[in-house]
Chains A and B, each alone.
Chain A
């Protein structure tokens, strides 16, 4: 090595050392003067106190606060604090009245008569009557509203408001999901919306509702502030102000939670079971909640494509997949195995059904029966000279992609060659799902509380853009789904949907992968949260939550 090179080398080393020293010293200098605030003990229980502010975060801003038009979860999250429906669900997920005091089903289950609670008011002090309900029904079914949720309400052939407290909806034939549909329809004020174009009205950004809160400020792209509605029809909530900050990045949200700038956020399994438990300060300040959501992830077969039209092939793949492995590996154990498309523990979920076990030898036997053998010894099965190979497609969702990788390995073990493709959502839907040009998908369903799944499984729903894109077609199931829609007696419906789930499991059009837990962290300063979490979720009865005076932010420090 010549001296010139050596000189350059030494200079380089020197400058590296210089920069590192500079960095380290500045880090030390800065860290030395950091001040740690006195830790506060949040574990003491207090009596309920009114006032204060709860700050949470959401990733996407609602586009509109009229849910029948926006249709997205961000809109529902905010709007459900502003608007009431006729009905709602109680902690055990049974229907109860919200604006309605009572309701009565008559005329061979075709007519529902709602009696409103007396003296209801909008947040501007104007009376809320059955005329508003009728107006909302007219709005949601209006052609020009173009509500994605109109179909449930278009089945109402006659809607009347004979007096201020009575609303009568008459259906052509008994429609069991009707009560659930009325629990999701936010009643809107006629006196403010009449004559307006619902799709462009300023009301969507400046709404007047009837629920616990009213909108006080909406800074676009930054935050939405709600304050208590003095005319709230259900009484007063404890917490005076709800602020939702819009923070698109999940890591940034979590940093805000760590810095105690927000009180609650939804977590992923890694934050829930790896990060928070290993940080004493977070553990001291946060309560963690987990509750089963109304959704599940599945592997679905295109039943119109060979060889997935063969039940033996579908069953073989079901046996070859270790679902517990996916739950442990992808969801860190924060999910459960399911055997019916309903939330476990609710009346619609059939407790007698068990998920298919992990049994590769059974899978191999079934494939052999279906005519798949490895004739050329390359480790991949063939039938009629063609290797058994297919592509699993999914949208760009980390958990689904990881599940696909685990499934790919397990199917390789029984001689199936699987490729994986993750596609951006809009392309995924329009290019593959709506055209039926796919073999196997990994997707999820987030479901309502009514057990009706006509649009997903009925054979009349095969068309492009409809939801039976797997092409499931079973006369027994069709009949059960039709019966379930027209039966309003919950016990009889339960029998119907248990039979439906049993038939579905036997046919294996999908492999249930898991039902994941919804995970939430809420700061311990928020008290009065129902424990244990009721089936209706952590947020149930949040009007009873409160923040004791000594724990409030401005009392602690002036942030």
Chain B
């Protein structure tokens, strides 16, 4: 097992280099660079100054040289600094000579996105698993149909539209929840309890709305898995033994039905760290989605590459974890890996 994991981790290195190479070239296929942003389209700003900026960032060099320079820094785990005029470090913060700390861009955005998406995933799973089981047990009955209908409504409603409606209804009309942002303006003056409730109230909409729209897939997955398992011979045997229906469903069927979920969770890891541009923009959340989107529009290459690299590294790690977890949960897989 350990050998298997080490092998997989070592394989990640050439994979990451390949991913970064492709990303780097695709990114440079898009016309324009940092000097073509809207602010510099100003009759007072001279082309000469833009050229100097290009030289500063080595944008005047051939792409392959630029990639080499980037890779050289990456080997030392240096993600570089943003091309934007604040020149913040892309990944981790730094402390300068006067002990002023400058926060890294991904360092600031990743925890926010991760928290929101993890909470969302937990909510989705806690809703989807019982709903899926219920739908499978009451297959073709009104419970099943209601759940399917509800799921498809949630799946079909555009997230931004639902968000705006709920922001209006919950935030403007009733004033129950804050409309946008992560904290109230007086957050720093609140006590611990106040800070907690303030943060939670700001997170309710950004967390719950995407989980509603994401509910459909997982519910369907659990339902189908459960239906498969419930038709197996060993379930019939269990029922024939006279086990209670509760024991049949929750002890024997559920464990097997949930195995594919591990794959689903593994596959959702890129989404967990990627964040959503639309929901982060609407709710004014400074997360990864917005960071990446803005960087692409600005042609802020170090940030684009930083997000892609960290994203792909975490994705590969997530896949590995999912495989390991699968092996741990399913003896059949474990035996296969051991043979390998």
Most buried by B among A143, A150, A248, A430: A248
User: Quick check: is A243 within 8 A (CB to CB) of the other chain?
Assistant: yes
Interface string of A1-38 (1 = CB under 8 A from B): 00000000001101110110000000000110010000
A202 within 8 A of B: yes
Tell me the bound Cα distance from A31 to B40 in angstroms: 49
Interface-lining segment among B120-128, B165-173, B226-234, B254-262: B165-173
**CA of A256 to CA of B102 in the docked complex: distance in angstroms?**
30
By a CB distance below 8 angstroms, the chain A residues around B183 are 219, 222
* Nearest-Cβ distance from residue A9 to partner chain B, whole angstroms: 11
Cα–Cα, bound, A220→B287 (Å): 11
Number of interface residues of A (CB under 8 A): 75
Separation of A259 and B171 alpha carbons in the complex (Å):
7
Evaluate whether A245 and B181 lie within 8 angstroms (CB atoms) in the complex, with A146-B53, A204-B86 already known: yes
The answer to the question of A486 belonging to the interface, with a C-beta cut-off of 8 Å to chain B, is no
| A220 & B32 in contact (Cβ 8 Å cutoff) | no
In the complex, B108 has a CB within 8 A of chain A: yes
Inside 8 A of A243's CB, which chain B residues have their CB?
185
In the assembled complex, how far is the CB of residue A199 from the closest CB belonging to chain B, in whole angstroms?
6
Contacts A199-B87, A204-B86, A465-B50 given; does A18 touch B283 at CB 8 Å: no
The answer to whether B283 touches A426 (Cβ under 8 A) is: no
A151 CA / B37 CA spacing, docked (Å): 19
B49-68: contact bitstring with A at CB < 8 Å (1 yes, 0 no)?
Answer: 11111001000000000000
Q: How far is the CB of A554 from chain B (nearest CB, A)?
A: 9
Distance in Å from the Cβ of A141 to the closest Cβ of chain B?
Answer: 11
Asked if B175 is an interface residue, CB under 8 A from chain A, the answer is: yes
B87/A426 in contact, CB under 8 A: no
Question: Is there an interface contact between B286 and A426, defined as CB atoms closer than 8 Å?
Answer: no
Chain B positions within 8 Å of A63 at CB level: 84-86
A231 to B: closest C-beta gap in Å:
23
- Measured between alpha carbons, how far is A195 from B45 in the docked complex, in Å? 26
Any B CB within 8 A of the CB of A91: no
Using Cβ atoms and an 8 Å threshold, which residues of chain A touch B337?
none
The 8 Å CB contact of A151, one of B46, B86, B286, is: B46
CA distance A30 to B169 in the complex (A): 10
Nearest chain A residue, comparing its CB with the CB of B145: A15
Which of A202, A252, A427, A559 lies at the interface centre, i.e. has the most chain B CB atoms within 10 A of its CB?
A: A252
B37 touches which one: A147, A184, A252, A426 (CB < 8 A)? A426
Contact A255 to B37, CB < 8 A, known contacts A151-B49, A220-B103: no
B180 close to chain A: CB less than 8 A:
yes
Contact partner, B30, options A426, A429, A434, Cβ 8 Å? A426
A295 to B329, CA, bound (A): 65
List residues of chain A with CB within 8 A of the CB of B284. 221-222, 245-249, 252
Is the beta-carbon distance between A64 and B49 smaller than 8 angstroms?
no
A329 to B81, CA, bound (A): 45
Q: Which residues of A lie under 8 Å from residue B87 when comparing CB positions?
A: 199-200
Residue with the greatest number of chain B CB neighbours at <10 A, chosen from A18, A34, A249? A249
A291 to chain B, nearest CB (A): 21
Contacting residues, chain A, for B38 (C-beta < 8 A) = 72, 425
Q: CB-CB < 8 A to B76: which residues of A? A: none
Question: In this assembly, does B13 line the interface, its C-beta being within 8 Å of a C-beta of chain A?
Answer: no
Query: Known: A19-B146, A426-B30, A426-B297. Contact between A221 and B108, CB under 8 A?
Result: yes
Interface check B150, CB cutoff 8 A:
yes
Central interface residue in B96, B171, B180, B282, by most chain A CB within 10 Å: B180
A71 to B188, CA, bound (A): 31
Is B33 close to A, CB under 8 A? yes
Report Cα–Cα, A24/B153, bound state, in Å: 15
Scan B125-163; emit 1 where CB is below 8 A from any A CB, else 0: 000000000000000011001100110010000000000
Structural contact, A252 and B36, CB atoms closer than 8 A: no
Chain B residue total in the interface (Cβ 8 A): 69
Q: In the complex, which residue of chain A has the Cβ closest to the Cβ of B103?
A: A220
| A152 proximal to B (CB < 8 A) | yes
**Segment with Cβ contacts to B, from A357-365, A441-449, A522-530:** A441-449
Contact B85 A447 (CB under 8 A): no
Determine how close the nearest CB of chain B comes to the CB of A353; give it in whole angstroms.
21
Q: A63-B86, A148-B40 are in contact. Are A261 and B179 (CB under 8 A)?
A: yes
A431 at the interface (CB under 8 A from B): yes
Task: Kindly state the separation between the CA atoms of A430 and B47 in the bound complex, as whole angstroms.
Answer: 12
**Does A103 reach chain B (CB closer than 8 Å)?**
no
Query: Considering the complex, which residues of chain B in the window 260-305 have a beta carbon less than 8 Å from any beta carbon of chain A?
Result: 281-286, 290, 297-299
**Contact A467 to B43, CB < 8 A, known contacts A16-B149, A30-B174, A259-B179:** yes
Query: B48 contacts the other chain (Cβ, under 8 Å)?
Result: yes
Please give, as numbers and ranges, the residues of chain A lying within 8 Å of B108 by CB-CB distance: 220-221
Q: Does B98 contact A (CB under 8 A)?
A: yes
Interface residue? B241 (CB, 8 A):
no
Q: A252-B180, A425-B38, A427-B30 are in contact. Are A206 and B86 (CB under 8 A)?
A: no
Whether a CB of chain B sits under 8 angstroms from the CB of A188 is no
- CB of B50 within 8 A of CB of A148, answer yes
Distance between B305 CB and nearest chain A CB, rounded to angstroms = 17
Contacts of A73 in B (CB 8 A): 39
Q: Given A11-B142, A69-B85, A255-B167, does the pair A221, B286 have CB atoms closer than 8 Å?
A: yes
Least CB separation from A424: chain B residue: B297
Contact A426:B36 (CB < 8 A) given known A19-B149, A255-B168: yes
Q: In the assembled complex, how far is the CB of residue A20 from the closest CB belonging to chain B, in whole angstroms?
A: 10
Q: Is A18 within 8 A of B146, CB to CB?
A: yes
Contact A148 B44 (CB under 8 A): yes
In Å, the complex CA distance between A379 and B226 comes to: 65
Q: Is the CB of B297 within 8 A of A425?
A: yes
Q: Which partner residue on chain A sits nearest B32 by CB separation? A: A426
A87 interface contact, C-beta 8 A: no
Q: Which residues from A are CB-within-8-Å of B36?
A: 425-426, 429-430, 434
For the complex, what is the distance from the CA of A184 to the CA of B141, rounded to whole Å? 72
Instruction: Enumerate A408-427 residues with CB–CB distance to B below 8 Å.
Output: 424-427
The 6 closest A-B CB pairs, nearest first, are A221-B286, A426-B32, A148-B45, A430-B32, A72-B39, A465-B47
A-B contact pairs, 6 of them (CB 8 A): A148-B46, A202-B100, A249-B180, A255-B179, A426-B31, A455-B46
Q: A221-B109, A255-B179, A430-B31 are in contact. List 14 more A-B contacts (CB 8 A).
A: A11-B141, A11-B145, A16-B149, A69-B85, A70-B86, A146-B53, A148-B40, A149-B49, A221-B290, A245-B181, A256-B180, A258-B172, A427-B31, A427-B32
Question: Measuring CB to CB, which residues of chain A are less than 8 angstroms from any residue of chain B?
Answer: 11-12, 14-16, 18-19, 30-31, 34, 55, 63-64, 66, 69-73, 75, 143, 146-152, 184, 199-200, 202, 204-206, 217, 219-223, 243, 245-249, 251-252, 255-256, 258-259, 261, 424-427, 429-431, 434, 445-448, 453, 455-456, 463-467, 559
